[in-house]
Amino acid sequence: MRLKDKVALVTGSSGGLGTGICRAFAEEGADCVVNYHSDRAGGRETADLVESVGRKSLLVQADISREDQVQAMVDAALERFGRLDIVVANAGYGLAKPLLETRVEEFEKLVRTNLIGTYLTVRIGAEAMKSQGSGKIITMSSIHGLGGTHYCSLYEATKAGILNFTRGAAFDLGDYNIQINCIAPGAVPVPKDPPPDKDGPLYAAWMQYTPLSRFGTPADVAAAAVYLASSDSDWVTGQVIQVDGGISAGHLIPSFKYYGAKPRMD
């Protein structure tokens, strides 16, 4: 087991990627602090998954944009388990809306959740790790942090901020042997999302530009998280792993494969 007897805190783990990461961590031997904001039932299901493979869980409600609540969550983890080895700043908020229809209140919510929430989770988690002399921190961005598209400018601004926050934090946290890295997932449908319309043009476009020709799963992202949380990544910090089926490797050039034409190679 790659995470045997480690203690991991995963924010936003009442479903989707957070649940997948907790499941993978538990299967690799870690006890998990399961955080939720409002979906207690979802958080309980995740905690039950952790316990179903023989590991311990602690279910904690906290709004990650509130410093006092993040501090209380980390304190509860330390009180229960005595240490904190892994922190995954997974919780986030999304918005898809044309720029000229957005309001400052919507941007403020994105900033407070995605940027300030990530900062608080990282800083307070790292404070707990500092005395241990080691730790693994994972932030969660998106391929939307790497480039732009319609309706997502505000969301993309916050996800891009997480990328460079992670890079800068790697320098400060390296002094304490704490590694911090970022995962940038691509299209990963989760249970709360409506199922993709496989006959629709949007699905066809994603398949066209994704070399591996499928959407991702929470398990795909969790596999990268296990690597970054384990000793296998002890000399890796300040990096971004794009778990996206390869879509970020291209520039969204229409593929000859899908239009029946033959490329010119001269």
**Alpha-carbon torsion, ordered 154, 158, 160, 163, to 10 deg:** -170
pLDDT tens digit string along 210-221? 999 999 999 999
Report the alpha-carbon distance of residue 30 to residue 9 in Å, rounded: 10
> Cβ neighbours of residue 113 under 8 Å, at least 6 residues apart?
64, 65, 91, 92, 93
The answer to which of 16-25, 84-93, 144-153, 174-183 has the lowest mean pLDDT is 144-153
The pLDDT of residue 253 is above 80? no
**pLDDT score of 263:** 52
- Of 36, 93, 119, 155, the active-site residue reads 155
pLDDT value at 43 more than 50 = yes
Residue with tokens 């006890």: 31
Q: What is the DSSP letter of 100?
A: G
Structural domains of the chain in order of their starting residue, each with its CATH number = 7-194+215-250 (3.40.50.720)
Maximum alpha-carbon separation in the chain = 66
Q: Please report which confidence band the pLDDT of residue 265 belongs to, taking 50, 70 and 90 as the band edges.
A: very low
Query: Can you give the pLDDT at residue 211?
Result: 94
Is the pLDDT score of 108 beyond 50?
Answer: yes
Predicted confidence at residue 200, as pLDDT, reads 83
Q: What is the pLDDT of residue 256?
A: 54
Residues 8-40: tens digit of each pLDDT? 999 999 999 999 999 999 999 999 999 999 999
| Angle formed by the axes of helices 16-27 and 40-52, nearest 10° | 20
> Is 259 among the catalytic positions?
no
Structure tokens at 7: 């203690």
Long-range contacts of 38-46 (CB under 8 A, 24+ apart): 39/14, 39/15, 40/14, 41/14, 42/14, 42/15, 43/13, 43/14, 45/14, 45/15, 45/19, 46/13, 46/14, 46/15, 46/18, 46/19, 46/22
Give the model confidence (pLDDT) of 73-97 as tens digits.
999 999 999 999 999 999 999 998 9
pLDDT confidence of residue 261: 53
The pLDDT score that the predictor gives to residue 230 is 98
Contact of 139 with 92, CB cutoff 8 Å: no
